[in-house]
Structure 1
Amino acid sequence: MSRVVLKVAALLAASLVLLACSPKLDWRTVQSPQERYSALFPGKPDKLERQIPYQGQEFLQTLEAVKIDDDIYSIGSIKLLANQTALLPNLINQLQSNLLDRAKASGGDVEILDTTYQLSSRQKLPSKDYFLVLKSSAKTSQSMRVRWITRAALNGEMWIYQISVLHPNGSANDAKTSLSKEEYENFFSGFSPE
Structure 2
Amino acid sequence: MLRRFGLVTLGILIVACSPQFDWRTIKNDAQGYSAMFPSKPQLIERSINYQQTSLKQTLEFAKVNEDVFAVMTTQIPATIATQVTMVEKMLQNTLLQQVPTTQFNLVKDATSRIGSAAQTKQVAQDFYLDLAHNKKVMRVRWLIRPAANDSVNLYQISVIRTGQSSQLEPLLNQENISIFFDEFRPN
1:165 alignment counterpart: 159
Q: Is the 8 A contact 1:76 1:161 kept in 2?
A: yes
- Larger of the two Rg values belongs to structure: 1
Quick one: which amino acid aligns to residue 171 of structure 1? Q
Which of the residues 98, 107, 124 maps onto 1:127? 124
2:17 alignment counterpart: 21
2:143 alignment counterpart: 149
Paired residues in the alignment total: 185
Partner Cα separation in structure 1 for residue 82 and residue 91 of structure 2: 16
Q: Is the 8 A contact 1:100 1:110 kept in 2?
A: no
Q: Is the 8 A contact 1:108 1:134 kept in 2?
A: no
1:79 is displaced (CA, Å) by 0.9
Quick one: which amino acid aligns to residue 190 of structure 1? E
Map of 1:109-120 to 2, 5 A cutoff? Answer: 109-119=104-114, 120=116
Quick one: which amino acid aligns to residue 141 of structure 2? R
Q: TM-score, normalised by structure 1?
A: 0.88
Structure 2: segments with no counterpart, 5+ residues: none
Q: TM-score, normalised by structure 2?
A: 0.91
Q: Is the 8 A contact 1:77 1:161 kept in 2?
A: yes
Partner Cα separation in structure 1 for residue 110 and residue 92 of structure 2: 17
1:75 is displaced (CA, Å) by 0.6
2:98 alignment counterpart: 102
1:86 is displaced (CA, Å) by 2.0
Q: In the alignment, does 2:37 pair up with 1:41?
A: yes
Partner Cα separation in structure 1 for residue 107 and residue 167 of structure 2: 12
Partner Cα separation in structure 2 for residue 89 and residue 117 of structure 1: 18
1:90 alignment counterpart: 86
2:69 alignment counterpart: 73
Q: Secondary structure at the match of 1:117?
A: strand
CA pair 84-185 structure 1, distance change in 2 beyond 3 A: same
2:51 alignment counterpart: 55
Q: Secondary structure at the match of 1:104?
A: coil
Structure 1: segments with no counterpart, 5+ residues: none
